[in-house]
Amino acid sequence: MTTIREKKSAQGFFLFCALTLQEVFRIRSNRHVSSMVILRQILFTGYEALPLISFLALAIGGLVILQGTNLLAGFGQGIWVHIVLVTVVVNELSGILTALVVVARSGTAISTELGNMRVRREIDLIESFGISPIGYLVLSRVIGVVVAMVILVLYFNFVAVLGGWLFSRIFNQLEFQAFMSDFLSVLKLSHVLSSLLKSISFGVIISILSTYHGMRVGHASTEVPQRTIRAVVSSIFVVILVDMVITWLFWIFR
Amino acid sequence: MKIEFINVSSKEGLRNLTLELKLNKVVLLRDPSENLSRAILNAIVGLDEIWGGEIRIDDTGINDFLQKEPQIRSFGYIFDEGIMLSNLSLMENLMLPLRWLNPFLNENETRELIDSWMRTFGLDLDISQRPVCYHAGELKMLSFVRTLLIAPKVLMIDDPYYMLNKPERENLFRNLRALTSSYPMLIASLDDDFGDGFADQIIDLSDFRDRFQRP
């Protein structure tokens, strides 16, 4: 019984993904009604998350430099602390931490909003107009979250490097030019590509899973928090899994 | 317009329903349970998943019929709860179906028409506000305005009096009576006002009780 239910659920999810993909090719036909939804999503997911991302990035960048300097200086390798910054922050932490912030803020908001729209029959209303709810509600949120996610990850990297320099300046009196010169000498194109690929993938994963669970709510308001929890748990699980796969692929083809 | 249900079964609970609706004037669906009438309206506008049988409109399959022109031009569905999208302002709610039909439509062009319909329905609302600022009856009346802005071929109204107070009911009844000359209507209601003297055809769905099974 459990197997059948799981299979049905998996089939439903892949059908949902296929319908969303189908709507990507029809985006021109409904962009006039969904462009405002996309802009609002970028504003909510991206712009409104900037203070939290700034704080996290500044602290993480600084702490990595501080801990790295302490650790590597013991071996007389303090100069290589920038490698730690590139490897840990640009390659891994920027994507993962930004994804966690986006899951906590936007993933939950999307799932709850769509779930409540289902309960209040607002999605039925959209369908009664002949407008595809996937094109109008889902695709616009997917695009909004992906765009915001890419911007946030780039911003995280930028602020984290700034935080790293700030701590280097405080504790090691390192000049900005010298810090950036060291940093850029270890930063490779593959690091930037990996970070970019992760941000796009995480954006797609979070938005698709959140919208899917939101749209799956039936007619009972009690289903909304249950579906939101599932959206959060599955998003975190899949984001970590995909992060490992992308890192592994870049490691193989390095 | 002729709508035929031929042995239709659906996810929402229709079971081998065969029914013919001639929507030249006002047709009233009188359903004591209110489930079957709602399921019929939902099936026509594609809110239900048809499992078996066929719905035909003017001797054409419903999917082929709706491909000829936008669904919203054919059927203006007014929900019993007069639903508005809560994340949009009232103006955006009114403009959404219009923009769907005409992407280049200017708000100012329709403002006069919106104000005129709002006056007709006795509404004095600040439409830059969100729906949460107004009570259910006002939003329900506004949902009539939203539908009439589109000028669909048929008005489909689920329980017109639901959520309205007495003055709003009287106002709505007066307006619907005036609209009968310009719009064919399919109304699902148990209220006597919409019976004899208002509807041209009354279909008593209690005869079809076994054609609905709660999903």
DSSP label at B61?
Answer: E
CA dihedral (B45, B22, B192, B137) in degrees, to 10, reads 30
Cβ contact, residue pair B83, A124, below 8 Å: yes
Encode pLDDT of A77-117 as tens digits: 776 787 788 888 888 899 999 999 999 999 999 999 999 99
| Whole-number Å distance between alpha carbons of B96 and B162 | 24
Cβ count within 10 A of residue B162: 17
- Say which of B47, B84, B92 has its CB closest to residue A128: B47
| Whole-number Å distance between alpha carbons of A70 and B61 | 75
DSSP label at A79?
Answer: G
Cβ contact, residue pair B79, A33, below 8 Å: no
pLDDT tens by residue, chain A, 254 residues: 344 444 567 888 999 999 999 988 887 777 666 788 888 889 998 899 999 999 999 999 888 888 888 888 777 777 678 778 888 888 889 999 999 999 999 999 999 999 999 999 999 999 999 888 999 999 999 999 999 999 999 999 999 988 888 888 887 788 888 888 888 888 889 889 999 999 999 999 999 999 999 999 988 999 999 999 999 999 999 999 999 999 999 988 87
Cβ contact, residue pair B103, A121, below 8 Å: no
CA-to-CA dists, residue A48 to A44, A101, A138, B67, angstroms: 5, 11, 20, 41
In a domain, B43, yes or no: no
Question: Phi and psi at residue B56, in whole multiples of 5°?
Answer: -120, 135
In a domain, B98, yes or no: yes
Contacts of B79 in chain A (CB under 8 A): 121, 124-125, 128
Q: Which two tokens stand for residue B8?
A: 């239709």
Tell me if B29 sits within 8 A of B160, measured CB to CB.
no
- Say which of B70, B71, B83 has its CB closest to residue A125: B83
- How far is A247 from chain B, CA to nearest CA, in Å? 39
Q: Which of A40, A10, A38 is nearest to A142 (CA)?
A: A38
Res A33: pLDDT: 63
State how many domains chain B has. 1
Per-residue burial over A1-29, b = 16 or more CB atoms within 10 Å of its CB, e = otherwise: eeeeeeeeeeeebeebeeebeebeeeeee
What is the span of the domain harbouring residue B169?
Answer: 27-34+71-211
In a domain, B61, yes or no: no
Model ipTM over 0.85: yes
- Say which of B66, B92, B100 has its CB closest to residue A131: B100
Res A7: pLDDT: 52
- Measured CB to CB, residues of chain A less than 8 Å from chain B are 30, 32-33, 36, 113, 116-117, 120-122, 124-131
- Say which of A122, A125, A127 has its CB closest to residue B46: A127
In a domain, B20, yes or no: no
Contacts of B85 in chain A (CB under 8 A): 117, 122, 125-126
pLDDT tens by residue, chain B, 215 residues: 899 999 999 988 899 999 999 988 999 999 998 889 999 999 999 888 889 999 999 989 988 888 887 888 899 999 999 999 998 999 999 999 998 888 888 778 789 999 999 999 999 999 999 999 999 999 999 999 999 999 999 999 999 999 999 999 999 999 999 999 999 999 999 999 998 889 999 999 988 887 888 77
Residue in chain A lying closest to B143 (CA): A125
At residue B78, the 3 state secondary structure works out as: strand
Contacts of B101 in chain A (CB under 8 A): none
For residue B28, list its beta bridge partners.
B187, B202
Cβ contact, residue pair B85, A129, below 8 Å: no
**CA A33, chain centre distance (Å):** 25
In a domain, B6, yes or no: no
A121, with CB counted inside 10 A (0-12, 13-18, 19+), is: middle
CA-to-CA dists, residue A191 to A88, A95, A250, angstroms: 11, 12, 9
In a domain, B100, yes or no: yes
Tell me if B42 sits within 8 A of B79, measured CB to CB.
no
Contacts of B78 in chain A (CB under 8 A): none
What number of C-beta contacts closer than 8 Å exist between A and B?
56
Contacting residues for B108 by C-beta, under 8 A, at least 6 apart: none
Token pair 């030249």: residue? B24
CATH number of the CATH domain containing B123: 3.40.50.300
Tell me if B163 sits within 8 A of B137, measured CB to CB.
yes
DSSP label at B99?
Answer: H
- Say which of A32, A126, A127 has its CB closest to residue B103: A32
DSSP label at A87?
Answer: I
B206, with CB counted inside 10 A (0-12, 13-18, 19+), is: exposed
Q: Which two tokens stand for residue A95?
A: 């994507």
Cβ contact, residue pair B79, A124, below 8 Å: yes
In a domain, B19, yes or no: no
Contacts of B47 in chain A (CB under 8 A): 124, 127-128
Q: Which two tokens stand for residue A224?
A: 């909304």
Residues across chain A? 254
- How far is A31 from chain B, CA to nearest CA, in Å? 9
Residue in chain B lying closest to A116 (CA): B86
In a domain, B138, yes or no: yes
Q: Which of A164, A149, A180, A152 is nearest to A60 (CA)?
A: A164
Contacting residues for A99 by C-beta, under 8 A, at least 6 apart: A149, A202, A206, A235, A239
| Whole-number Å distance between alpha carbons of B212 and B190 | 18
CA-to-CA dists, residue A2 to A7, A8, A26, A166, B186, angstroms: 9, 10, 36, 54, 43
At residue B156, the 3 state secondary structure works out as: strand
Long-range CB contacts (within 8 A, 24+) of A12-17: A12/A216, A13/A212, A16/A134, A16/A208, A16/A212, A16/A215, A17/A208
- How far is A151 from chain B, CA to nearest CA, in Å? 25
